[in-house]
Structure formats: C-alpha cells, structure tokens
Structure 1
C-alpha cells in the first residue's frame, strides 16, 4: 500500500509537469512560430497521428489537467486509507501490549482514561495539529494571492472563480451533512470500542485468570477495523467534495475546447489564456490543500500522546524483564496440593499484607476462608494466579515452586470467580465462553450448575442476548451467576470463589454451592467469604488471622469440620 501510494503520487506529479510542458509548444504555435522537429510534444503527437495545432495542443492541456486532478484524488484517497490503517495498527498494538504485558502495579498507577487516550487514534492526530496550523497560514495566503492575480488579469474570470468557490462550498456543506450522519455511526462505534476497552481493563483480573487475552484482543481488532472503515468513508466524502467540482469544471473546459471551431480565435487570445490557465492550475490545488488542512485542524483538535514512543519504551522494558526470567515449565499434571510456606507480601515498603502465611490445600477438600476485610484474603488469590509474586517465602504446586510454572498454563488450572462480576457488552454466550472453543451445550451445562440457565432461556434471544454496558439490562444476581458459569465452564483443578455468591438469595446460593461441591468433590474448592452459614457445607474452615503471620506454624491453623 505504501509503495502504491508513492507511485501514484509520483505519477500525479509527472502529469502536472507534462501539463506545464505542453504550454510551451502551445504558446509557440499561438504566436505563429514554427516548432523544431526535435520538440517533445510535437514528436509524441506525430507518433499517434495528430498535428501540432493550437486546437490539438489545447485539448491535450485540458486532458492532462483532468488527469492531474484525478490522480491527485486517487493519491489522497490512498493516503487517507493508509493513515487509518496505521492508526488501527498502533492502537491494536497498544491495546495488546496493555492487556498482555502490563503488571497490575503499572495499571494501578494510571487511570483508565489515560490508556484509552493512549491507544486511541487521537494519539496520532494530535501531534500533527501544530504542523497543520503552521501550514494553514502560508497556504491560505498563497490561495488569496492566486485569486488576486486571477481577478486582476480578468475580473470576469475572478467572478467565475468566486462562483465556483460558492458551488464547491455548497458541495462541501452537503458533504458535511453526510459526514455528520457518518459521524453518528462513528461515535456509536467509538463508544462501543471504548466500552470494550474499559470492560477489558475493569475485568483484567478475570481476563488473565481465564487466559482470555486472545479473545478480548481479537474482539478489539474487529471493532476497531469497523471504526476505521467508517473513518475512511468520512475521509472519502471530504475528498470527493473537494475534487468533484474541480473535475467537473475541467471536464467542461475539455468539452469547450473540443467544440470550439475557430482555432484563429483561440490563437488571438492565447497569451491571456496561458496566464489564466497557469494561475488556475496552481490556484485550485493550493485552495484544495488549504481546505484539507483546515478540516484536519478542526477534526483533530485534541490533545493526547505518542503511542509509538510508549510502545518502544514498553518493548524495551519487556525485553529487560524477559532477559532475567528462565523459560517457564508447562503445568501438565493435575494439581493435587497448593501450599503456602512462610509467605510474605507487600504492595509497597509501607503496605505489608502477608507476613509468614502458612497453609496447605489438598485435592478432594473444600475450604472456607474467613477474616476481616483488608486482611489479605484476596491477595492470596492474586498470588496463586501469579498476578504478583511473593516478596518472601514460597508457594508450592505439587511440592514445586509456583514460579517454575507458566502463568498462562497455571491460570487454566486455577479458576477464580470474583465478588464483582465483570461482564462485557457482548452476547451472554460470549460472556461465558470468554474466547474458549466450547459448544452451546457445554455453556448451558455450566449455567445449569450456576442456576441461571432457566433465566437466560426466558429471554427473547436466549444466549444471543447482548448484555449492555456493565450489565445494565440484567440483575445483579444474574450477572453474578453468569460469572459463576464462566468459572465453571472449564472444570479446573482449583476453583476459588471470592465472595462470588453474595448477590444471590439464600435459596439460590445454597443450590449453587451444593452443585459446585458435588461437581468438584475430587478437586480443590476455596470459598473466600463472610457468610458463616457456609461453614456447614465445607470440609474445613480457615480463620485467616491464624494463617497470616503463622510462619513455622503447622496446619493446626485449620479447624476441620465434617460437612
């Protein structure tokens, strides 16, 4: 695409040079002077069977002018398309980098709005505003000088130019109305794009826990491709509004030159025509460029950042981090045990959360972890999923350090359903499948365990129902059960429910928990909750205050209770 655009631009420039060169033999013939046999255009015309008359040379000039404008239009359209493609490329690259590589520490240091602006196409536009403004003043001045020159040489032609500008302005108004309608579509696509972006960041824990990075990144690429197509249509309308009146004017000139029978009449006023044509030939492109720059400034008057610079920094940081890490080992065996051995963790020097935590989970058991808010229960979940690494002590999977295993493979074996159920502006099926290759039957089975299948089937479009932004068209309980079904879809070795049933009524909660315990009786199930009624349904109850700070303590911290 880049080479094609460059070739077309060079062709357009060549056509203009050819048009300019045709003026010289035209002036010679008009002045009744003979042309040398070696002259370029006479030789070309003779080769194709035409004489070097004023009539033929004038037709040639108009044809070349028409081709110049046409190739310029095609070049601008290609440039607009290439520009949009680059915007989509950098925005997708930025989004992919955010979703896949940013640590939660880096995410928490910035607002979501920062990342939205960084990945948006405004990042590329804004850097050009100052340059566009500095170009606009001299270009507009040059256009004015060309017009003054035309009006000075011929007031009637100046009036015709004014009439042309008025007609072009009306065409531009029509284009702006169409652009406004397209802009409505563009804004809708932009809002959907931003919603997906925010959903992805707000649900980053869930996305990574379910290894759904490919799903959300692929969806973003599809949405931004549609947005780019709409943006290109807006650019196309703007270019057509600029160039169609000019092409129409030149076409009329070609027809008039062909139809003009008296070559002698043309020759009489030829010097005048040459001057006017030269001025017009330069006036219209400069005027068009002035309009282009003005519309670009109006459209792109926003402030943001340079995505490519951030991506380069992020890539350098990624390489530095990867250089220090050995290749992880895939987790191929079933998880039989998870053990914390004197685990320390702190979000900062002044924010210790875990201090020598000791605990062991074994397959075939269900656990209930209780404790005050802020005690570090949810931090345990983050450490098990490798969202963070311990600052002291170790976490072991089947008696091997958890840091030996590939985080992505680990997250396929350890599923987490969070308290705040995150849903996307997508179909219910896609919200549950989350990019995994599963059938509707598998999804319905998971929804049956979560006691939400009947609710979904009562909807007019069933599993094809689109959930609105942040689940505005479903209840809190339905949203939480859909999130539960997402976690139950892939029967993981370890299932962690972090306050994942607190939005359910008592009867539904009891049914859901019974279904989960029956389905996962040979696996590890961990409930992080304040609901003490759950104690009668699990194998063991863990008071987190006894576990945290239990370096060198044994499993006496666990109070076993027969379910």
Structure 2
C-alpha cells in the first residue's frame, strides 16, 4: 500500500471515528469508568491482605464494606464493559452502513469505461466483504486497543502507587511489545494484501462461472475452470498461511515469553525486598494480579493487529473504488423537446491510437427513423453509447435540439432518451416495478406504454396483471415478452429519442412482427435510431447508415441503397435473403 493510499484510507476510516462525537464521548466515558472499576478490584484485595488478613484484625463492618465495594466494582465493570461494547459496535455498524452506501452509490455513477475492465465478482467483494472487514477495525481493533490502553494506564498508575520500582520493571514490556508489533506489520502486510486480492479473485471466478454455466457445460470447460479456481484457491491458502505463521510467531507466543520474563524479574525484585524487610504480601498479590491483567491487554492489542492489517487493506480497496472518477454532467436547464439530432465529424476511440469511429456525420430530423447497419465490429453499438454520453467525446460534435450533448444534465438527458438494449434487463420484482423503474408513474401511463409495446395481452394472461412477480431475470416471461417489457419501460417516460440496439435479434419471427408493428406506430412521433442485424426489419427507415470499420460506407433509403450494383448494403441484404430462402427450403 503506497503512502498516499495509506493516508487516504486512514482519512476515510478516521472520519467515522470523529463523525459522531457524542457517541465517541459516551463510549470513551464508559471505557474509562470500566477501567477504574477493573483496577479497583486488586487494590481492594491488597488492602484486605495487608490491613486485615496478615495482622488478623477481622472487623466485621470494615470487612463487609470491603466485600461490598469489591462486588460492586466487579458488577459495575461488567455493566460498563457491556455499554462500552454496545457503543463501539453502534459506531462500527454506522460506519460500515455509510461506507457501503457510498461505495454502491459511487459504483452506479461510474462511467461505462470503468466497467469495460471491471469484474463483477471483485466489485461485489469490495462492497460486501471489504466493508465488513472494516467493521472489525472499529469493533475488534479500535475498541480493544482503546480499552486496553486505558486499562494499561490505570494499571501502571495503580502499580506506581504500590511500588514504583516494580512498576518500572513491568513497564519495560511496552516498548518491547511495540517492537514486536512493528515486525509483525512489516512481515504480514504484503501477505494480508495479497490474500484480500485473491479472495476477490475467488468471488470473481465463482460469479463468472455461474453466470456462464450453460456455455461452460455445453463446451465442456468444467476441467479448465476447476483448474483455474484451484490455482487461485491454492494461492489464497498459501497467502493466508503466511499471515498465520507470522501471527503464530510474533503475537501470542512472543508476548507470553516476554510476560514470563517480567514475572521472573518482579519475583526476584520482591525477593530482594523481603530480605531487607520492606516487602508486603498484599503488594505482591496486587502486583501479580495486575501483571496478569497487564500482559493480557498487550497480547490482545498485538493479536488485534492482524485484524488491523486486514481492515486497512480492505479500507484501501474501498477507498480506491470510491476515488474512481465519476462521469461528469452539466447542471443546466437544457431539455430535449423535439428529438433533432446532429452529428458532425465525430471521431471516437476507447483506447488512444485505436479509433472506432472515423469522421461520422449525419442529421436526423424529429420523428425520423434512422437505421444503422454494418458487419460485426463496425461501430454500430459504439455510436449508440456515444449518443447516450456513456463515453465523452473529444473530437467532433453531437447536438440534440441544437444544444451540445455535454451541456445536458444527467436527469434531463436520461429523461429525453430511451434505450432498448439487445439483452433485456429485468429486475427482481413485479411487472409494474419493471415498467415504472422507481419513477412513480401513474398506472394510466404504465398501461399506455404497455399498449404501445403491444404487451397488453400478456398482462391480461398473467395471474396478477401488472403486479405479477416475474422472478429473477424475468423467468415467467418469454424472450420476446421480456423485450416488449423493455420497450414499454422506455416508452413510459415519453422520450423524444428512442435508441434500439438490435432489439429484434434474439426473438422469433412472430414476436419480431409485433415489435415491428409497435415501432411503425411510433414512427413520426419519436425520433428513433435502430441498430439492426436483420436488414428486412428496417426497409421503411427514413435513412440507413452503413458503417464499415467505423467509417460511413453508404447512406440513403432502402431503395436507394439497393440500386447500387456493388454496394455493401445490397450485398448484405441479398446474402440475408438467400440464407432465409435456404432455411425455409430446409
């Protein structure tokens, strides 16, 4: 972890410690009071031994008072520890809840370019596993370290009041333990960071395998995926074993060895005091009691540094995600009112030096139907992504109703443009939820959009109509019905521009005719740009743009393009028609 990342991560995590000062103050107050109650017990034991037991002076009232004080201190310590734990846990859960919300909210605002290389499993791991690990920083580390540090201070003060020399001997443990912690952090840090990364890789592999299970089994790729998973799993095992070995060597065993050494030193020093006649048995009892409580907090602190390492690495991963730049939109009142699209000298590349679109220009009047065709990789879907401002452009201009594309706010742009992707996205919920998508549209608007998408008959057949639960991925609907649902979703917002990315590529001929009828009814009312694979579906388009390797090869109506003897469009159309006739004959 670099110094800049460490500072950023520390700033992120510490902001929640001081964010709720009232809660932190209460937790700290309970912590101090609990420490006082803990430290009071051995001191009362020392008083009983030296003042009453050794001189054999058993005064009933004094002994009862001493006993009640002892019992009261232990009960108070238990209750105060409970309150301290609850307050620190509340602080931790509040922090994790907010960090998880921030991370998920930020992911939804990241530019599409980020998702071109991001893996779903790793993102899920950062938002779930890593944020959960951060909770341990507050509950298991911060709480334990603060409580034990204050307990150590209290014990040292009590020791000093009893015997300053013995206290100084005990205090030698502290710098020695700090050295152990330094060595642990140095040796375990890289292994912990690698283990967190490999855990994300495991999640990503599982997510990828489950998502493509049908293809994986159909192509008999199980052995290869099992081998890849085993490799990552073995790497994770080795990384975790490295951290465990370092912990086993430098944490508890080292502290136990040091504490035994200090214990021997204290007994030796006490023996010297006995020979001079100045030793008190009660002091030895209290010191041995305090020493047991003294070494335990040090051991707790060192053991919690394992959690600290994991939390800091997890915090670094979450902080890196949150620091990813968001897509920027202007906050202007410009709105899409008619759907006039003008594209001039547009050039675009995902990577520098590898252009995808070259000098693309066209003018689309409101209500026109514009089709974009071409072979795979010609830039058709990229053009739609650029029009949606998923990828900002640096060369050329795109104007909507005369306004630059980049001048529109996010809400106004999404309100004015509807997208119908090739693969329908269905959320878990009802049919109503999937059409409305949280926009709180009136039912009349939803039914109108369903009618425009010719989805009304399907709604009538469903047991609960619009409120029918669709299941994950819309399993209760056919592929064609899911596509009609997506069209209804786009139309429900009354967009002025409708973009269709091969919307009929994966549906049967009957459903294709239904979708085509819906689009013909919208012709003239909504500006439409259709990326089409089946050329027979865009014969009625006002303009057809033929792309080849990102360049405009041809443009015109269907009839105009069919008149070109050696034209690319005519060649593509004839090949499709021939393939269709062969299919019908077979």
Q: Quick one: structure 1 residues 473 and 13, their matched pair in 2 at CA, closer, same or farther if it must change by over 3 Å?
A: farther
Equivalent residue, structure 1, for 2:555: 557
CA contact (8 A) 2:545 2:552 kept: no
Q: Hey, what does 2:370 align to over in structure 1?
A: 367
1:121: how far off? Answer: 3.9
Shift of 1:280: 10
Q: How many Å separate the matches in 2 of 1:336 and 1:432?
A: 22
Which of 489, 505, 512 is the matching residue for 1:486?
489
Q: Which residue of 1 aligns with 2:107?
A: 98
Q: 1:256-301 CA distances to partner (integer Å, 9 max, x unpaired)?
A: xxxxxxxxxxxxxxx89x95998499679959x969969x97xx89
Q: Aligned in 2, Cα 1:311/1:354: closer, same or farther, shift over 3 Å?
A: closer
Partners of 2:435 and 2:486 within 8 A in 1: yes
Deviation, structure 1 residue 418: 0.3
Q: Contact 2:335–2:413 at 8 Å: present in 1 too?
A: no
TM-aligned CA deviation for residue 109 of structure 1:
2.6
Match among 312, 319, 324 for residue 309 of structure 1: 319
Provide the C-alpha distance between the structure 2 equivalents of 1:522 and 1:488, rounded to a whole number of angstroms.
Answer: 11
TM-score (norm 2): 0.58
Q: How does 1:30-69 map to 2 (within 5 A)?
A: 30=53, 53-69=62-78
Tell whether the 8 Å contact from 1:541 to 1:561 is kept in structure 2 after alignment: no
Stretches of structure 1 that go unaligned for 5 or more consecutive residues are 36-50, 140-193, 203-270, 551-555
User: Residues 118 and 305 of structure 1 are in contact (CA less than 8 Å); yes or no, is this contact kept in structure 2?
Assistant: no
CA contact (8 A) 1:451 1:508 kept: no
Residues in 1 aligned to 2:462 and 2:289: alpha-carbon distance in whole angstroms: 68
Determine the structure 1 residue equivalent to 2:445. 442
Q: CA deviation at 1:558?
A: 2.2
What's 1:524 paired with?
527
SS at match of 1:522: coil
- What residue number does 1:9 align with? 31
Aligned residues: CA RMSD: 4.5
Shift of residue 305, structure 1, vs aligned partner? 5.8
Measure, in 2, the Cα distance between the counterparts of 1:301 and 1:460: 49
Select the residue among 104, 114, 118 that pairs with 1:110: 118
Q: Give the secondary structure class of the aligned counterpart of 1:17.
A: helix
Mapping of 1:3-402 within 5 angstroms? Answer: 3-23=25-45, 25-27=47-49, 28-30=51-53, 53-100=62-109, 102-123=110-131, 125=133, 275=285, 279=289, 286=296, 304=314, 306-307=316-317, 309-310=319-320, 313-314=323-324, 317=325, 327-332=330-335, 334-402=337-405
What do residues 510-563 of structure 1 show as CA deviations (whole Å, max 9, x unaligned)? 23332343245322122211222323444343333499347xxxxx8222669x
Structure-2 change in CA distance of 1:385 and 1:333 (3 Å): closer
Q: CA offsets per residue over residues 299-326 of structure 1, 9 Å max, x none?
A: x899856245315643xx56xx97xx9x
Structure 2 distance, partners of 1:448, 1:492, is 16
Q: What CA distance in whole angstroms lies between the structure 1 residues aligned with 2:293 and 2:459?
A: 64
Q: Is the 8 A contact 1:119 1:307 kept in 2?
A: no
How far apart, CA to CA, are the structure 1 residues paired with 2:294 and 2:79?
13
Q: Is the 8 A contact 2:541 2:558 kept in 1?
A: no
Report SS of the residue matched to 2:69.
helix
Change (3 A) 1:447 1:303: farther
Q: Paired residue for 1:189? A: none
The Cα shift of 1:71 comes to 1.5
SS in 2 for 1:306: helix
Of 461-470 and 91-100, deviating more is 461-470
Give the TM-score normalised by the residue count of structure 1: 0.61
Are residues 1:417 and 2:420 paired?
A: yes
